[in-house]
Amino acid sequence: MFNSIMDEINNNLMNDLIKWRRYLHQNPELSYMEVKTSQFIYDTLLTFGNLEVSRPTPTSVMAKLIGRHPGKIIAFRADIDALPIQETTELEYSSQNPGVMHACGHDGHTAMLLGTAKILSSVKDQINGEVRFIFQHAEEMTPGGAIEMIEAGVMEGVDCIYGIHLWSPLETGKIGICYGPMMGSPDSFSITINGKGGHAALPHETIDSITIGAQVVNNLQHIVSRGTDPFENVVVTITHFSGGSKWHVIPGNAEINGNVRTINPKLRETMSGKIEKIIKGITEAHGATYEFKYSLGFDPVINDESVTKVTEEIAREIFGDESITRIKPVLAGEDFSAYQKVAPGCFFFIGIGNEEKATNYPHHHPNFNIDEDTLGKGVEMFVATTMKLLCNEKSYNLI
Ligand code: NI
């Protein structure tokens, strides 16, 4: 049975996958505003039959495929939102929505999950248990759509969950697997240094927010270089520093913004305190005051060992050992982590990097594009996972 499904993907489904992906690419929508996108997904799912399709939140979609006999419940998740970026690819199916672009591959993720739903809905009777297809809104913006989906009940009873990210730093067609911590927590902070403004020629009568701010920026570098175990993964980055507007005026205030990435939840808890301690010490020493705001982003993506082992085995069986790469964690954030707090899960990458096809631009770059030939691989992984977990041994052995 599995062979025939793979033939079906290669012969017929690829056209659908590319057609869907290009429609989505042309019609990108920002986080929490995925109105047309979710309607398109909803309408497309209804054409497959055998699915219970619902709208957990105004701009998301879920489909349930309930098999013939009871069994486990597995879930697959795709994110569906785009980014506030002006596309510069000049592809014939470029974004028709100015300033908005699918620059992270979520159009591909959505197409792959639609393809999976199409294939599996046609073999409903051979499934024991239930498959849930989660088309999640707002992955690109904290707090992220995943927590809303969970609140709406999409994870109730789910035994395990899987997600794919198409990944341009990885060579096209490779499957990137990571055990344990895989993606980081994207936390952020803002600092205001309150000094006392005055004449540039009379610095002793001011409290210079610029020089104090500069010391804060420099000293924050010590958190990673001197205050953290070198075998831990941490980034503290200052992304914004502003203050003053005249060449002869010392400004009373300076604004600093930054980003903190960690992968170890225990270490993450300490970061806000470490940063504030430095700000407090430096501002106090120079007679200034400060305001400090620290915002937590997504939790780290942490892959379950046994669920990931099954994913790796499936990938090796389908694509061969040479296609599998054990990848190092990356500190980009992903709200797939929210589902993993409810049920064990595996998030993995499918490489799309291909210089000849210009699909090796970084994610969130205005020239970003995916290698569409990989879309079938995502469907194969999800279909094979369903076969392995929810179909009887016999069917799976036909692979
Ligand atoms: Ni993404």
Q: What is the pLDDT of residue 11?
A: 75
Q: How far apart are CA 113 and CA 224, in angstroms?
A: 39
Q: What is the pLDDT of residue 397?
A: 36
Q: Where along the chain do its domains lie?
A: 2-178+327-391, 185-295
* Residue 345 structure tokens: 């899960």
Q: What is the pLDDT of residue 226?
A: 96
At 167, give phi and psi (nearest 5°).
-140, 115
How far away, in angstroms, is 140 Cα from ligand 1 center? 7
Q: What is the pLDDT of residue 399?
A: 33
Coil vs helix vs strand at 216: helix
How far away, in angstroms, is 80 Cα from ligand 1 center? 9
Q: What is the pLDDT of residue 8?
A: 74
How far away, in angstroms, is 335 Cα from ligand 1 center? 10
CA torsion angle 59 65 70 76 (round to 10) = -60
Provide the 8-state DSSP code for 96: S
How far away, in angstroms, is 82 Cα from ligand 1 center? 9
Annotated active-site residue in 139, 208, 299, 371: 139
How far away, in angstroms, is 103 Cα from ligand 1 center? 8
How far away, in angstroms, is 129 Cα from ligand 1 center? 29
Q: How far apart are CA 161 and CA 385, in angstroms?
A: 11
7 belongs to the catalytic site:
no
Provide the 8-state DSSP code for 372: G
Q: How far apart are CA 258 and CA 166, in angstroms?
A: 27
Q: Where are the beta strands (DSSP E) in 304-381?
A: 324-326, 345-353
Topology of domain 2-178+327-391, per CATH? Aminopeptidase (3.40.630)
Q: How far apart are CA 250 and CA 96, in angstroms?
A: 46
How far away, in angstroms, is 81 Cα from ligand 1 center? 9
Annotated active-site residue in 29, 34, 79, 81: 81
Identify the segments of the chain with pLDDT beneath 50: 394-399
Place of tokens 């995916």: 370
Class of domain 185-295: alpha beta
Q: Which of 271, 304, 298 is nearest to 161 (CA)?
A: 304
Q: Would you say 181 and 329 are in contact if contact means Cβ atoms under 8 Å apart?
A: yes
Q: What is the pLDDT of residue 9?
A: 76
139 belongs to the catalytic site:
yes
If residue 190 lies in a helix (H) or strand (E), which one and from where to where?
Answer: strand 185-194
pTM, rounded to two decimals: 0.91
If residue 114 lies in a helix (H) or strand (E), which one and from where to where?
Answer: helix 106-121
**Residue 367 neighbours by CB distance under 10 Å:** 16
Residue ranges near ligand 1 (ion) with Cβ within 5 Å: 104
